[in-house]
Every structure is written in structure tokens, then in C-alpha cells.
């Protein structure tokens, strides 16, 4: 590597065959690997016979370790950042480190690879043109329900990570907040031996998880289909009545313009509605 950089390296989320050649070369070449959990990542490095020194960088020491990493970069050497699995910073530590390294004037280079939420969405059969990744929902039940309820009107597909000991309660909250009939997909243990996709309404998926203890084991990506988009062309009763009154005295153009000012609805929508009334 001719120029020093912090390499943000994606690692497998289960199947070690998903480790990319570029990721292996990078981890072999850098001066230091910053790992979320050195014991966990030690098994990965051992499998690929990578001997590079590691240090732990996690939520509790990220700010302290960043100075050590920046000092290495200042010497013209490179550092790799890895998480326990998948792409670093996606519901994992690393944001503070990347921000400070960039602020210090050093390159940050992504080495792409596995990401659980992208892998889950690609095979879910749920709308993927617009989506929002929300990470882990709150752990406490009432906070989680309030959190989901605030998202119930979102029209994009919503994506969450969830843990095995909370998945059943989390699905129950999805039923309460989004409605029993909202389509969802639950992906479990991606790329691993017992990879599973459950799909259907929120109530149906909850029942499948409740009836099979095996479906409450592992790591989960939960995808909730977005709410139907509102029909902007439909007028509520108050706007309709306002337009009718104005049309009694004014032209279509004048009535729709004034109704737009009164109701806040787009003039084009009101103009079309006024034409239909004439």
C-alpha cells in the first residue's frame, strides 16, 4: 500500500467463504487491525492465517484509541477497522474514529463486502427502491412500541436488527403499531446453516415465531413494508366544501387559487377538482 489510510473492511456475517480476496490482502498488509472484539476477530484472522497485530476499538474506548490510530497514520502506515461481522459502522462502533481520522486529513477507504441488512433486503421480495435502516429498536417495551408507532405512517420499507431474546416481543409490538395485516419479512441467521426467511402479515409471522422455538434463535433482520402512499389528489371534506363555496362566486382559476391559500393544498390539485365540478 503506497499511501497510508484507514481501511474500513467488511467481514463475513456467517459464511467464511464470503471473505473477499481484497479484504484478506488488506488485513495482511496494514500495520494494525482495530477490531470490535479481538477474541472474536482472532478466530477469523486465524482461519485466514493473518498475523497482523490487533487492538480493541469498541463503544467504550473508541475516543481513546483514535489517537493511537491517528499516530500510526501520521507515520505513513495504514490501519484496518473491522467489526464482529459485516460492514463496520452499520449498527456497530466506528463512526467517531472515521470522523476524527478524516478531520485529521487522512484517507478513509472502504473495502466492501457483507452487510446483513443489504443481504436480507436483496432476497426478501419486499419493496427495495426506497428503504430506511433503523438499526436496533429500543429494548424497553413501551419505548419500543412508541418508537414503532411513530414510524407507522412511513411509506418506505423499514429495516431493523433484533436479538433472539427480544424478537417475539418486538414482533408483538409491530402488530400493535403497524397493524396485524402489514406485510413483513423476517430474515434469520443469514449465510449460516439455518438461514430462514419468514414472510406474510405481521400477525402471521408472529404466530410462526411463537409456534417454533427454533425461529427465536440467532440474529434477525426484520423488514416492514411501508404504509400505502396517501392520495394527494383526494380532497378532505373541509377543502371540498371550501372549493364549492368559492366556485359559486369565482372562476375555476380564481377559486382554485384562493382555495389553495386557505387550505394549503396544491393549486394544481384544487384546479383539477374545480374543473370536475363545472
Per residue in 181-217, pLDDT tens? 999 999 999 999 999 999 999 999 999 999 999 999 9
- pLDDT confidence of residue 238: 87
What is the predicted pLDDT for the residue at 49?
Answer: 98
Q: For the chain, what is the radius of gyration of the CA atoms? A: 26
SS3 content of the chain, % helix, strand, coil (to 5): 45, 20, 40
Mean pLDDT (whole number) for 88-92:
92
Burial class (CB in 10 A: 0-12, 13-18, 19+), 153: exposed
265, pLDDT greater than 60: yes
CATH 3.40.1010.10 corresponds to the domain 5-114:
yes
Least confident of 55-69, 94-108, 132-146, 174-188: 55-69
The CATH architecture that domain 117-224 belongs to is 2-Layer Sandwich (3.30)
Residues 6 or more apart whose CB falls under 8 angstroms from that of 238 comprise 263
- pTM score above 0.75: yes
CA 47 to CA 18: how far, in whole Å? 13
**What integer pLDDT is reported at residue 232 of this predicted model?**
56
- Written as one string, the DSSP assignment of 177-227 is HH-TT-EEEEEESTTSTT-EEEEEEHHHHHHHHHH-GGGGSS-EEEEEPPP
- pLDDT score for 1: 56
Residue 276: exposure state from Cβ atoms within 10 A (0-12, 13-18, ≥19) = exposed
Which is nearest to 265 in space by CA: 122, 83, 181, 273?
A: 273
Write out 11-42 in H/E/C secondary structure.
ECCCCHHHCCHHHHHHHHHCCEEEECCHHHHH
Backbone φ and ψ for 6, nearest 5 degrees, come out as -95, 115
- Residue 96's nearest CA partner among 65, 68, 130, 121 is 65
Give the residue from 193, 171, 190, 192 showing the smallest Cα distance to 182.
171
Residue 233 has pLDDT above 70, yes or no: no
Residue 253 has pLDDT above 70, yes or no: yes
How far apart are the C-alpha atoms of 197 and 200, rounded to whole Å?
10
Cβ burial, residue 181 (10 Å; 0-12/13-18/19+): exposed
Asked whether the CA dihedral 72, 48, 122, 218 is positive or negative, the reply is negative
pLDDT (0 to 100) of residue 129: 95
Each residue of 19-77: pLDDT tens digit? 999 999 999 999 999 999 999 999 999 999 999 999 999 988 988 899 999 999 999 99
pLDDT band at 178 (very low <50, low <70, confident <90, very high): very high
Amino acid at each position: 500500500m503506497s499511501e497510508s489510510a484507514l481501511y474500513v473492511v467488511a467481514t463475513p456475517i456467517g459464511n467464511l467463504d464470503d471473505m473477499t480476496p481484497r479484504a484478506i490482502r488488506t488485513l495482511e498488509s496494514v500495520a494494525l487491525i482495530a477490531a470490535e472484539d479481538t477474541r472474536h476477530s482472532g478466530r477469523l484472522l486465524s482461519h485466514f492465517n493473518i498475523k497482523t497485530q490487533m487492538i480493541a476499538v469498541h463503544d467504550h474506548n473508541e475516543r481513546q484509541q483514535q489517537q493511537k490510530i491517528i499516530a500510526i497514520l501520521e507515520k505513513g502506515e495504514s490501519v484496518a477497522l473491522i467489526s464482529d461481522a459485516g460492514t463496520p459502522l452499520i449498527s456497530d462502533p466506528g463512526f467517531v474514529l472515521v470522523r476524527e481520522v478524516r478531520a485529521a486529513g487522512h484517507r478513509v477507504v472502504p473495502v466492501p463486502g457483507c452487510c446483513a441488512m443489504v443481504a436480507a433486503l436483496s432476497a426478501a421480495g419486499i419493496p427495495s427502491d426506497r428503504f430506511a435502516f433503523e438499526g436496533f429498536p429500543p429494548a424497553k417495551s413501551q419505548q419500543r412500541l412508541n418508537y414503532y408507532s411513530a414510524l407507522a405512517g412511513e411509506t418506505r420499507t423499514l429495516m431493523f436488527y433484533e436479538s433472539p431474546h427480544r424478537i417475539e416481543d418486538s414482533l408483538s409490538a409491530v402488530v400493535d403499531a403497524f397493524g396485524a395485516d402489514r406485510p413483513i419479512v423476517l430474515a434469520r441467521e443469514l449465510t449460516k446453516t439455518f438461514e430462514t426467511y419468514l414472510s406474510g402479515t405481521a400477525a402471521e409471522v408472529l404466530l410462526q415465531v411463537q409456534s417454533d422455538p427454533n425461529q427465536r434463535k440467532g440474529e434477525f433482520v426484520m423488514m416492514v413494508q411501508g404504509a400505502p402512499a396517501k392520495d394527494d389528489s383526494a380532497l378532505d371534506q373541509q377543502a371540498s366544501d371550501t372549493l364549492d363555496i368559492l366556485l359559486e362566486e369565482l372562476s375555476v382559476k380564481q377559486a382554485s387559487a384562493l382555495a389553495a391559500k386557505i387550505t394549503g393544498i396544491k393549486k394544481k390539485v384544487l384546479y383539477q377538482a374545480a374543473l370536475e365540478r363545472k
